[in-house]
Amino acid sequence: MITIIDYGLGNIQAFVNVYKRLNIPVTIARQPADFEGATRLILPGVGAFDHAMERLDASGMRPTLERLVREQGVPVLGICVGMQILASASDEGLLPGLGWVKGRVKAFADVPELKGIPLPHMGWNDVRPWPDVPLFKGLEEDARFYFLHSFFFDCEGGGGSIASASYGQDFVCAVAEGNVFGVQFHPEKSHHFGAALLKNFAEL
């Protein structure tokens, strides 16, 4: 069962609609009891890093989420800010992240070579996945996804990255560490490319 975590951030219904079109069972979790039967988790997010962490904590679902992901190995897919809070910390805020993928979130505006680049990075962009990544099965060439962000995931030691995109310079746009996955773009807004990725996640 695909379970989408509704902690007040992200267009939850858009994910539900995609999975219903794919005839894949989907449900929404708004409290700990709603995770019963979950075999895949989607952690969406929009807005600021600290606000997302505060909302997740306030939802009361974080302990259940931690147990499922860290102890039981249930696959989770973080999306946009939901990907960023997988990191240990962000230059955008002061709160610690979940720390499930080694790295820190950094600002495009703080990269000297990108001085003056329009922000946020918004719109469609090409995504280049690494070879043989199951999340991007069938999307190895000519895949395009919709982005809306001003911060990017800086993987510790270069590990964890599974795809990149370019905006002024190459940046990591998808990560994976064990059963934890994250994408910076919005698959729910990315037409057939996004539907293919969400289907792949369901079939991991």
Q: Show which residues are catalytic.
A: 80, 186, 188
The CATH number of whichever domain residue 84 belongs to comes to 3.40.50.880
d(CA 156, CA 26): 33
* Percent of the chain's residues with pLDDT above 90: 95
Provide the domain count of the chain. Answer: 1
Q: How confident is the model at residue 60 (pLDDT cuts 50, 70, 90)?
A: very high
Contact 9, 81 (CB under 8 A): yes
Residue 105: give the domain boundaries.
2-202
- The predicted-structure confidence for 135-151, as pLDDT tens digits, reads as follows 999 999 999 999 999 99
Q: Token pair for residue 153?
A: 């995931």
Q: List residues bridging with 123 in a β-sheet.
A: 147
Contact 45, 9 (CB under 8 A): yes
Q: Where are the beta strands (DSSP E) in the chain?
A: 2-5, 26-29, 40-43, 76-79, 89-90, 103-107, 121-126, 128-129, 144-149, 151-155, 161-166, 170-177, 180-183
- The predicted-structure confidence for 101-130, as pLDDT tens digits, reads as follows 999 999 999 999 898 899 999 999 999 999
pLDDT exceeds cutoff 90 at 159: no
